[in-house]
Chain A
Amino acid sequence: MARAIEVSNVSKLYRLGELYKHMMLREYLMSLLRRRPLQVDDTIWALRDVSFGIEAGEVVGLIGRNGAGKSTMLKVISRITDPTAGSYRVTGKVASLLEVGTGFHQELTGRENIYLNGSILGMHKREIDGKLDAIVAFADVARFLDTPLKRYSSGMKLRLGFAVAAHLDPDVLLVDEVLAVGDAGFQKKCLSAMRELQSGGRTVIFVSHNMAAVENLCSRAIWIDQGRLVRDGEAREVIRAYFATFGEATRDGIGLDAVAGRQGNGLVRFTRIEYLSADHEHGPLAQSGQHLTMRLHYRAAQRIPDPHFGVKISTEMGTTVTEVSTWSTGFAVPCVEPGSGAIDLVIESLNLMPGRYYVSLWAEGMGPIHYDVLDRCAILDVEPSNYYGSGRGVESRYGIVLLPCSFRLPGGKGPGAA
């Protein structure tokens, strides 16, 4: 059987820096006159010598941390950008879905945007004519079909965009993290649409941070880190290997020394993260609605004045739940001394529904100078608790946020009172 996608030794070099991105024609012409070429400040290999083949009908998950090169890989396969070296071949009609609603125009009506977006994604006009009713029904926008898009809510726009995408009929579909946007109901709809694609025998490459979805949808996973292919194989196995590079839980917290894909100059490095309950006991302590202290241990190579520490918590789907830093809370750390140290993030009440979350950390200085930036370096498993005192209603299917709240009847009378 012919391979649908064949990627051989693909590398992609990006040039960084102000000079390259903002090169002036004037300066360029001057440099030609002086016969001295402009210097390119900095380069980075977004992909390095990556090879894989995908059979027709395979559904493959592409996983890795932020900035690992997943999106660059999709951009290369979908011909948006050329690889610096290497070659690739794709057989059949390709549709790439790097974003929902590409090319939507605010001034045009819903109907006009369906045609525009459809043709941008590679549908023919006759094809769209035939599928228009189905698309409109899927998006649930029949009443607003001739209303300009600028009057749509963001949810409606999203539904419209996804409806068009769901009716594409390509041989090869490339999907990038489209599922990270939208509410839980919408994400569910997207996942079931993906499942249909899968059963329809299409070849799909699916980039996601949602390991549950990847494991569920994909038979195979490819893990990329810092531009290199780390592992390619059965989805469950690759995901397990990927999770193993997260900080490893030990008796005294999660060790961060071995975390891969960290950025920054390393003058300050996170070594360990500890989750502590109110009484500072160790254990599986992150509980819904309970106190949690995150103790961030670090090691500094020298005296660093005025550092900032930050923590981000995101869901498995990649949605940021919260991002907080010493800067945003106005907490000034005068300096860190050489050697080991720690800073606590004290969370009075961890108002998260039970489930798996990711923690990202960073230490920065003014400038900004990045000392240590770790994307999704530790897992935070939030355990259920009896938050409302009823023994019910605190489960991951109830969403992300746990509200400190209670019901009452107006007038202050209890139920059943006359």
Chain B
Amino acid sequence: MDIRIKKLVDYMELQSIDVLLITQPKNVYYFTGFLTDPHERFMGLVLVKGKDPFLFLPLLDAENAETISSVKKIYSHDDAENAYEVLQRYLPSNISTLGLEKNHLTVKSYEAVVDIANASEIHEIDELIQEMRLSKSQEEISKIKKAIEITEEALRLTLPKIKLNITEMEVVAELEYQIKKLGAQGPSFSSIVLAGEKAGHPHGHPGNRKIKTGEFLLIDFGVILDGYVSDLTRTFAIGQINDQLKDIYDAVLQANLQAITSVKPDKPIANVDISAREVIKSRGYGQYFINRVGHGFGMEIHEHPSVHSKAEGLLREGMTFTIEPGIYNPKLAGVRIEDNVVVTKDGVNVLSSFPKELQSLEV
């Protein structure tokens, strides 16, 4: 039996769970190798005590699932049926404890599932799966690495296309074209390309703003490949920039390097944020570093751990997260330098390798 599924089976035994239902598509992928977005239709991996696990999904995904899923038993429902009623046929009639994902099921699906299962007790399994997914396996890390390689190559190929008066949206289009040509399934989130003062908003939207000399261009994007994501930010100077902007860039770069140095197993997660924050504060920009230094990522762009100054818990081998300190002055400019790292046995491995020294683009 698959080692991950075995963990679920052991957990069911330990907690006396009769039926366990996994519905979050990425979690279904984690346990079966089959990735799909069923949209409004119902899909779940179902474990019934003492029986083989089965995948329950919309008919139109069944053929694909049969070839790809490691869970070979597959039941489907078509659009004309009530999915919950069909599911009921495959469940035992006497369920006392039902395990499910409260963080994923909407109130409506939750009520429908609880209704057909007729279980006397509901057991939340979100934390168990979150915990399992926290430390990445070697196989997962190599998938993440491939996603990062494509990201960096796409950035390299895009830079020569950045010319005076090109718009932020045109740069986004070029980046996303490149990542798909390189084999990615798509961007891992809405690509962010912000010029000049627009980069002073950490979550600004790319638009028709044209690129001018003497200012920064912030590029934050990532790809999704084989279900795993990357998330990289680099900030470039367009032509020559003044000393004030150079100082801002250097402060962020030093904070990024300091934060990376602080990553070690068994050290507090919060330290990573604090070490970057101290650098930026000491350079006089403390008020402009207004968000957490990083976030976990893997199959999703935002996973655990959340790397902020009050984060609880310790770093653990196999955790993957971003390190992305920034200085955001909405009236002037914004700089962010973001890397992807994995905690190793005795320190850290920086998975992203795109150069970080200030680079001026000749436009």
**B is a partner of A:** no
